[in-house]
Amino acid sequence: MKDRGHGINFQPGYRIRDKDLRKIHKAAILGNVAKVQHVLLFGENGLNDREKMNRTVEDSFETALHVACANGHSAVVTLLLERKCLHNLCDNENRTALMKAIECQEEECATLLLEHGADPNVMDVCGNTALHYAVFCQNISLAAKLLSCNTNIEARNKDDLTPLLLAIHERRGQMVEFLVKKEANIHAVDKKKRTALMLALKYESINVIRFLLRQGADIFSQDVFGWTAEEYAVISGFN
């Protein structure tokens, strides 16, 4: 996986070696509801059993719920949730099934998880929450659903990026406007004390710069180097 500098390791799905899989995982990956029911009925695998995917690379410890969500099999997800599976279990990078559903743009699966009480505030190994994933994937619809479920809009990952700061970092202009309208703090700073405006100037997001200025962004704050937004503007070639 590639680290993009802010802690999001983006790789939809899972790399899977079929011979390593438990029966319940094989059925979940294929979306075979009847087979999942059969495996559970006869106790061949447990509801929350974890699997080591791709053992030649890394041990990932996904549950059947993880792989069903990653592959968009909502019928299997529904079955597992109805059987009271543990929906907040994490893989080796501390990603929940909800995070995998969002990362893989499987909105129906993510919605099912939220309706059954999945925790949107769990953090992965880099401190990212489900909302960070929705921001990175530029999915405003899922971001809205997450915020309706008491998601922390100011959660910080290990780089001190809130979802808003991440949206600016990743040049997600529409997401920036959405989050600000949802009252995200435009004065939040990252671990280098850079404001949303400074980041917008750094990444040359002209529409975001204008939007933040209209929202009253602070132009006098200083980062850890003592630079203000004006210095960032000069460096980036803005008047």
Q: Do 98 and 57 fall within a single domain?
A: yes
What angle separates helix 74-82 from helix 107-115, to the nearest 10 degrees? 10
Nearest residue to 169 via CA among 1, 11, 8: 8
Please say which residue of 58, 93, 128 terminates a domain: 128
Q: What pairs with residue 63 in β-bridges?
A: 50
Q: Do 84 and 197 fall within a single domain?
A: no
Cα angle 31, 35, 37 (rounded to 5 degrees) comes to: 105
Q: Do 14 and 124 fall within a single domain?
A: yes
> What is the number of other CB atoms lying within 10 angstroms of the CB of residue 69?
33
Q: Report if residue 138 sits inside a domain.
A: no
Cβ atoms of 70 and 30 closer than 8 Å = no
Q: Do 227 and 115 fall within a single domain?
A: no
Cβ atoms of 93 and 124 closer than 8 Å = yes
Q: What is the pTM of this model?
A: 0.86
Q: What is the pLDDT of residue 195?
A: 97
Tell which wins on pLDDT, 119 or 42. 119
**Domain of 180?**
153-239
CATH no. for residue 101?
A: 1.25.40.20
Alpha-carbon distance of 86 to 97, in angstroms, equals: 10
Q: Do 157 and 114 fall within a single domain?
A: no
Q: Do 89 and 124 fall within a single domain?
A: yes
Q: Do 7 and 64 fall within a single domain?
A: yes
Q: Do 78 and 124 fall within a single domain?
A: yes
Q: Do 97 and 172 fall within a single domain?
A: no
Nearest residue to 138 via CA among 186, 185, 177, 86: 177
Q: Do 28 and 123 fall within a single domain?
A: yes
Say whether pLDDT at 45 is over 60: no
Number of domains observed in the structure of the chain: 2
Return the percentage of the chain with pLDDT > 90, whole number. Answer: 67
Q: Do 42 and 121 fall within a single domain?
A: yes
Say whether pLDDT at 18 is over 60: no
Cβ atoms of 122 and 149 closer than 8 Å = no
Q: Report if residue 147 sits inside a domain.
A: no
3-state class percentages of the chain: helix first, strand second, coil last, to nearest 5: 45, 5, 50
**Model pLDDT for residues 142-176, shown as the tens digit of each residue:** 999 999 999 999 999 999 999 999 999 999 999 99
Alpha-carbon distance of 176 to 140, in angstroms, equals: 10
Q: What value does the mean pLDDT take over residues 201-215?
A: 94
DSSP 8-state code for residue 206: H
**Model pLDDT for residues 54-91, shown as the tens digit of each residue:** 443 344 668 889 999 999 999 999 999 998 888 899 98
**Model pLDDT for residues 92-127, shown as the tens digit of each residue:** 899 999 999 999 999 999 999 999 999 999 999 999
Q: Report if residue 97 sits inside a domain.
A: yes
Q: Do 88 and 8 fall within a single domain?
A: yes
Residues in the chain: 239
